[in-house]
Amino acid sequence: MIATALHRALADPGPPALRPLPPRAVELLLTLDAPPRLGAHLRAVHDVAARLLDWLRPAYPRLDVDHDAVLFGAATHDIGKTIHPEELSGPGSRHEPAGRELLLRHGVPAELARFAASHAGWDRPAMSTEELLVSLADKILKGRREPGLETLVVGRLAVAGNEQPWEAFMRLDDVLDGIGAEADARLAFQARYPTG
C-alpha cells in the first residue's frame, strides 16, 4: 500500500511524541480519506486528552469518567471536517452536527458520536465530564486557556476530590500549564500536514 500523507499523519512518531489513535478511529479516518491535517490534529488532541486522563486517574480516583469514551471522542471530535474541510482552516460550526451524523451512519453508538457535536459547546447545559474533557483537550492543545470551561471542570474535580474549588483549580492549573508548554510543538506537527 502506498503511504499517503494521511497514513503518515496517523503514524508519525513525532516529535512531539504522540500516542497512536484508537484503531476504530484510524479505520474511520482512512475509510473517509480524511484530510491529513485533520488526522494530525486528532492525533494531537487525543494525546492531550490521554495526558489529562493519566493525571486524573491517580489524582481523582473517584471521578466518574469513561476513559475510553474520552479518548475516542478526542480522536474523532472534528471528523465532520471531512465533510466541511473549509472549517479546517477557517471558522464554522457546520462540521459539528455533520460529524455526529457521520459517525452514527458508520455505526458508532450515540454515546461516542456525541463528542463530534458537543466539543465546541461546553457552556451548554448537561455536558458530561467526558465531553468537558474533550473540549478542554481541544483548547489546551494550542495552549489556549478558557476560564469558563476550566471552572466547569474544576467543579467536577472538587466534588470528586472532596476539596475546595480553589484547591482543584490549583492542581488543574499546574497540569494545564505543563501540557500547554508544548503547544508550539503540537501546532508545528499539525502544520506539517496539508489541509487537502
Q: Which residues bind Fe ion (CB under 5 A)?
A: 78, 138
Give the span between the Cα atoms of 127 and 143, in whole angstroms: 22
Cell of 176: 494545564
Q: Within 10 Å of residue 177's Cβ, how many Cβ atoms? A: 12
Q: What angle do CA 5, 105, 44 make, to 5 degrees?
A: 35
Contact 95, 87 (CB under 8 A): yes
CB nearer to Fe ion: pick between 43 and 169? 43
CB nearer to Fe ion: pick between 138 and 150? 138
Q: For the chain, give the number of residues.
A: 196
Q: What's the min distance (Å) between Cβ of 61 and Fe ion?
A: 28
Q: What's the min distance (Å) between Cβ of 194 and Fe ion?
A: 17
Contacts of 102 (CB under 8 A, 6+ apart): 32, 79, 80, 82, 83, 116
Q: What's the min distance (Å) between Cβ of 15 and Fe ion?
A: 20
Cell of 134: 474533550
CB nearer to Fe ion: pick between 78 and 130? 78
Q: What's the min distance (Å) between Cβ of 42 and Fe ion?
A: 8
CB nearer to Fe ion: pick between 34 and 158? 34
The single-letter code of the amino acid at 102 is L
Q: What's the min distance (Å) between Cβ of 161 and Fe ion?
A: 28
CB nearer to Fe ion: pick between 45 and 158? 45
Give the span between the Cα atoms of 160 and 65, in whole angstroms: 11
